[in-house]
Amino acid sequence: MPSLKDLKNRIESVKSTRKITKAMQMVAAAKLRRAQEAAEQSRPYTERFNAVMANLASSVGGSDSAPKLLSGTGSDKVQLLVVMTSERGLCGGFNSNIAKLAKTHAAKLQAEGKEVKILTVGKKGRDQLKRDFGSLFIGHVDLTEVKRVGYADAQGIAKDILARFDGGEFDVATIFYAKFVNVVSQIPTAQQIIPASFEDAEGDEASTLFDYEPDEEAILADLLPRGVATQIFSALLENGASEQGARMSAMDNATRNAGEMIDKLTIEFNRSRQAVITNELIEIISGAEAL
């Protein structure tokens, strides 16, 4: 049974931990507001951009003049997985869920006899994938020094991926990230970015409102690289909001758990102190009766 001093020290330690988790929760809440606004403001542009690209892609179809980023290499033998996670932990299952989805996808591809290559963005994903798939790593993007993710960061990642595609290092590229829904819900998502994949755009007004000059192939050749950067930037923003939401939720749970632990330790401390006082009283009474 721990002594009174040990219990008192433990209570003070848990109180200090609770102060830290409460502070981290408040910081995450402040950052979440900005990150959520950035993610939500990017969605209309991304959706409209993809709608226009879908119409252009549907008009080009499977023609021989279609850009390589749209038509692909004609093979899916070599797959590049771009796993995007955070640089810091203490955000619940945010990083683990993304890494788990990437691991499942990689294992499935390997079972199909395909070659898998992995590019990590964020050290937490790299650390979780290193044990099982470390031999498949071909690069890592460190965003530790980046205080606020911008489009320039997405462009840098996109240029690296496009250079590898032009160099024939892979056939298909898929990004993994968490789509932000709310503070308690972030959905791990896999999205193919090369070759470009768009939802069916039938009935979209873009096909009837605009005539494209020059032709669709030339426009696609110019816009598809930007589309890769746009999708990566959107994923980074969604990840940023998801990370802060997950951290806020995790720190709130940690703060409440610390409070419950303090209550239990306080009860145990009071019981132990009462037992010590009772024993002392018994000794005093026994001594007096002996006299």
The residues carrying an active-site annotation are 91
Q: Distance of CA 128 to CAs 84, 99, 102, 249, 278, Å?
A: 12, 7, 10, 22, 53
* Radius of gyration from C-alpha coordinates of the chain: 28
Which tokens go with 181?
């829904």
**Angle CA 86–87–93, to nearest 5:** 45
Amino acid letter for position 234: S
Query: Phi and psi (nearest 5°) for 92?
Result: 65, -140
Residues 213, 216: Cα–Cα separation, whole Å: 8
Neighbour tally for 13: CB within 10 Å: 12
